[in-house]
Each structure stands twice: as C-alpha cells, then as structure tokens.
Amino acid sequence: MKRMFAMLLAVGWGAGAQAADLLGIYREATTADARYASARLQREAGQEKVVQARAGLLPSLTASAGTTYSSVDATQPLVREYGYNTNSYSLQLTQPLFRAQNWVAYEQGKLGTELADLQFVAAEMDLIVRTTQAYFDLLGAQDVLTTVTRLKTAAGEQLQLSKKSFEVGTVTVTDVNDAQSRYDIAAAQEIAAQNDVNVKREALRVLTGKEPPQLAGLRTGVMLAQPQPAVVDSWAQAAQDGNLDVQAQQLNTSIAEREVARVRAAHLPTVDAVASYGRSHATNGSSGNPSEGKTWSVGVQASLPLYQGGGTQSKVRESRALSDKAREDLETARRAAAQSARQSFLGVTSGIAQVKGYEAAVLSSRSALESNRLGYQVGVKINMDVLNAQTQLAQTEQQLAKARYDTIMAQVKLKQAVGTLSLKDLEEINALLER
C-alpha cells in the first residue's frame, strides 16, 4: 500500500512539474560538463604565463649555506695533524639590466594569457552550441517517436478493421496482408525511434550529469527571423575577422613571430647588476682560535655568447619556419570561418523557406485528411485512404518541427562563426519555448 501511494505521489508530481527549458539545461551544463570544466582550468593555468614571463625581468635573490670539515697533516715546522670546520652562508641579489630575450618572453607571456582567455570564451560558445544541439536533438527524436506511435496505432486499428471485414467477406486476404505489413513496419519504426530517443537522452545526460527531465518544446507557430544583414558576403567577412578560431590563430602567429626575435636575441650580450653578501666562520685547528670573515660586493656583470656550436642559428631557422607555418594556419582558419558562416547563413535562409513550405503542406494535409474522412463516411473512400492521409499529416508535422530545429541550430552556428554568440542569444531561443 505504501509503495502504491509513493508511485501515485510520484506520478502526480511528474504531471504537475514544469518542463525544463533550454536555459535551465545550459546552466546545469556549466557546472557538470567535463569539457567546459577542463577549459576553465586551462584558462586558470594560462593566467600564469604572464606571471612566469615577468619573473625574467624582476630581481632574483639566492641564499646558500655550507659547512666543510678540513683535515691537515703538517710536517713543517713540526709534525702534527689537526682538523677544523668552516661554516659559511651567502646571499646574492641579481637584477637583469639588459636581457633582450626576457623582454620578448614577457610579451609572449601577455599574448599567451590573452590566448587562454580567448580560448575559454570559445569554450563557452561551444557549450552553448552543444547544449542547444543536444536539446533539440532530443526534441526531434521525441517528435519522431510520437509520429510513429500514432501511425502504429492507426495501422493497428486498420488491421483490426481489415480482419473483421475479411471475416464478413467485404475485403480480400491481400487487404489484410497489406494492413499487417503496415502495422509491422510501424512497430519496427517505433522500436528504432525509441532507441534514438534513448541515445539522445544519454547525450544530454553527459552534458548535465543527470537524467534529463521533460523538455519544453517550441511554441506552436513560432516565427523565425532572417539573418541581418541579409547578405551572405557580409557574414563571411565578419567571420574572417571575428571568428574566435581566427583570433586565436592571430595570437599564435604573433607569439610565433616574437619567438623568432627571442631566439635571435641569444646572440646579444646580457648585463646584470649583482650584489652579494657572505659570511664564514672557521675553527683554527692549529691554534685553537676561531676566525671569522665577512664579504660584500656590488657590481655589474656582462656576458656575450660567441659560439654555441651552431645551435642558436638552427633555432632561428626553426622559429622562422614555425612562424611561416602559423601565418598559413591563420589563412586556413580565415577560410574555414568564412565557409562556416556561408553554410550557416544558407542553412538559416533555406530553413526558413522550408518551414514556410511545410506550414503550407500541413494545412493541405489536414484538409486532405478531413476530405478523406468525409469521403469514408459517405462511402467513396476506404479506410486505407484515411490511414494514408493520417500518415501524410503526421510525417509533415514532424518534418515541420525538424525544419524549425535545424533552422535554429543554423542561427546559433552562424553567430558562433562570426564570434558573437552569447548567453543573450540562448535567452532569445529560450523565449520561443512553451511555458
């Protein structure tokens, strides 16, 4: 009895619970998605690049200490043997005055930190895209399951009617076999559709770390807007400049160019200001009297590398080649961004056209269904005609929903291609869902 009461309570709660929306799923993904968490930690690590590079410009302080035991075996003027300890410690302060490679490394560090920030923004956009894709993939799979379930039910009704009609001799066995075939096909399609729903639910669960709840669907008659500006070349040009992969590659190119300067600077002299303080204490093994000493020194040290076995020249050639490679990668990124923008733009415009076409087809299919039902009632149509009309309507409604989902995803990917996708865009999509 208690178990039955608990089940009834759960059913009642589920029926009254509000469906989860896209924004809620995204917020859960920001705390549960492993890829996003990895990007956040990568950004934290990237913040240290500029700190590490700046250390090469700041003074360094080194402390050292030691103790030494010495044993002396003397023969002049007297034969004797003794030992003593020497304890010492020192501090050395070094301030780089001229180290060209360190300055270049500092500039690289700043660019590296900027790159880490940019990559995290790209990860945020990627999470928005993945969440939206998983959300509408599940809605689409559920739509397909609903459609095939309706068709299976209709086919089952037609099968039972055919069997009864065959018993009274109004239809042939061929009609019964045809109805059985339709039902079997619908049953197989339902199994496949249910499996696809399970797969799509699992994909969403990977993002949020929990079993997906009931999802809010698109409102009936949702209107989707055309891209503005409505010129594909404008979006392609914007992607070549604003795409985050392009911006990241621009930073990589700048880092690679500075690497050439940093490696070449190994030919230049280095100048450091050095100050040191030392103190030693020794026990005099021969006289028994201890001795102490203190030393101070302040000065400037300069060094000039003359020959390193050809290694420096080799590194310069290597860094030049990598710099050229980075520029080619930048051009590749620009072309890929423009292509992605064009594809997404065409996906939006063609998708909106498809939505309008399917909307008209739904109206036509509904009219056809009503006509076939009326014809069946007056005897000019058979039940199979009604079933075919029901099938046509259900499939057209499902195709209309898919066209809307695909168009929304094209809009999201278009914004991602030009580097402007943000939480605001997700909120606008969320406003299209049922409440």
In a domain, 7, yes or no: no
Confidence (pLDDT) at 16:
44
DSSP letters along 114-142, please?
Answer: HHHHHHHHHHHHHHHHHHHHHHHHHHHHH
What are the C-alpha distances in Å from 1 to residues 6, 9, 11? Answer: 9, 12, 15
Q: Are residues 81 and 103 both part of a single domain?
A: no
Verify that 90 and 108 share a domain, yes or no: no
Asked if residue 276 lies in contact with residue 253, where contact means CB atoms within 8 angstroms, the answer is no
160 inside domain: yes
Radius of gyration of the chain (CA): 38
Per-residue pLDDT band at 190 (split at 50, 70, 90) = very high
Q: Does residue 37 belong to any structural domain of this protein?
A: yes
SS (H, E, C) 174-223: HHHHHHHHHHHHHHHHHHHHHHHHHHHHHHHHHHHCCCCCCECCECCCCC
**Residue 52, domain CATH:** 1.20.1600.10
Same structural domain for residues 247 and 191?
yes
On whether residue 8 sits in a domain, the answer given is no
Last residue of a domain, one of 258, 282, 303: 303
Asked if residue 136 is part of any domain, the answer here is: yes
Parent domain of 87: 60-98+270-303
The gap from C-alpha 324 to its chain's centroid, in whole angstroms, comes to 28
Predicted confidence at residue 176, as pLDDT, reads 85
Q: Which of 415, 390, 353, 410 is nearest to 125 (CA)?
A: 415
Global confidence as pTM = 0.86
Name the strand (E) or helix (H) holding 305. Answer: none
- What is d(CA 354, CA 90) in angstroms, rounded to the nearest whole number? 80
Residue 79 shares a structural domain with residue 141: no
- Is there a single domain that holds both residue 212 and residue 338? yes
Residues in contact with 90: Cβ distance below 8 Å, sequence separation at least 6, in sequence order: 63, 64, 65, 276, 277, 278, 279
- Could you tell me if 112 and 204 lie in one domain? yes
Answer whether residue 106 shows pLDDT above 60.
yes
Check if the beta carbon of residue 188 is closer than 8 Å to that of residue 155. Answer: no
Of residues 355, 288, 324, 343, the one with CA closest to residue 85: 288
Per-residue model confidence (pLDDT) at position 14: 40
Residues 250 and 286 in one domain: no
Q: How many domains does the chain have?
A: 2
Within-domain flag for 2 = no
Q: Is residue 3 part of a domain?
A: no
Note whether 112 and 46 are within 8 A (CB): yes
Residues 338 and 418 in one domain: yes
| pLDDT classification of 22: cutoffs 50, 70, 90 | very high
Segment 251-295, tens digit of pLDDT:
999 999 999 999 999 999 999 999 999 998 877 655 556 778 899
Amino acid type, 378: V
Q: Is the peptide bond before 229 cis (omega within 30 degrees of 0)?
A: yes
Last residue of a domain, which of 260, 281, 303? 303
Domain check: are 299 and 399 in the same one?
no
Token pair belonging to 291: 């001795």
DSSP 3-state assignment of 93?
A: strand
Render pLDDT for 378-422 as a digit per residue (tens, 0 to 9).
777 767 788 888 889 989 999 999 999 999 999 999 999 999 999
- Judgement on whether residues 286 and 425 belong to the same structural domain of the protein: no
Q: Are residues 414 and 336 in the same domain?
A: yes
Q: Give, in order, the Cα–Cα distances in Å from 262 to each of 101, 103, 269.
A: 5, 8, 13
191 part of a folded domain? yes
Same domain, 169 and 318: yes
What the block records as the tokens of 308 is 């390193």
pLDDT, residue 168, reads: 86
- pLDDT tens column, 133-183: 999 999 999 999 999 999 899 889 888 888 888 888 877 888 788 889 989
CATH of the domain at 282: 2.20.200
The DSSP secondary structure of 151-163, one letter per residue, reads HHHHHHHHHHHHH
